[in-house]
Amino acid sequence: MLDKFVTGMASLRLFSGSVEILAAIIMLRLNQVDKALAVNSALAFVGPMVLILTTTIGLVGMADKLSWGKIGWIMCGAAFLLFGILKK
């Protein structure tokens, strides 16, 4: 039987991948650079959200096995990733 946390994390990644493929199809159908760039910009919102949600689900699933210090380090690392990705 699959772990419910792993199933949730995998489902989010499948959803994210599906959104990426759908965006690529939309870009091809639009066939204009400016509109394709707008679609690509919308994807910049989806990626970090999936990262945050997947990490959160994983941490909740491991919360009973990790100390508060380790959870803090993981959250700090995820925050630095997001800061690096979203900083302009």
Model pLDDT for residues 33-88, shown as the tens digit of each residue: 999 999 998 888 888 889 889 988 988 888 888 888 888 898 898 889 878 877 76
pLDDT for the residue numbered 27 = 96
DSSP secondary structure letter of residue 64: T
The count of domains in the chain is 1
State the pTM of this model: 0.72
- For residue 9, the enclosing domain spans 4-86
- For residue 53, which of 85, 10, 88 has the smallest C-alpha distance? 10
Contacts of 46 (CB under 8 A, 6+ apart): 16, 19, 20
Distances in whole angstroms, Cα of residue 2 to Cα of each of 6, 9, 16, 49: 7, 12, 20, 24
Residues near 13 by beta carbon (within 8 Å), at least 6 away in sequence? 50, 54
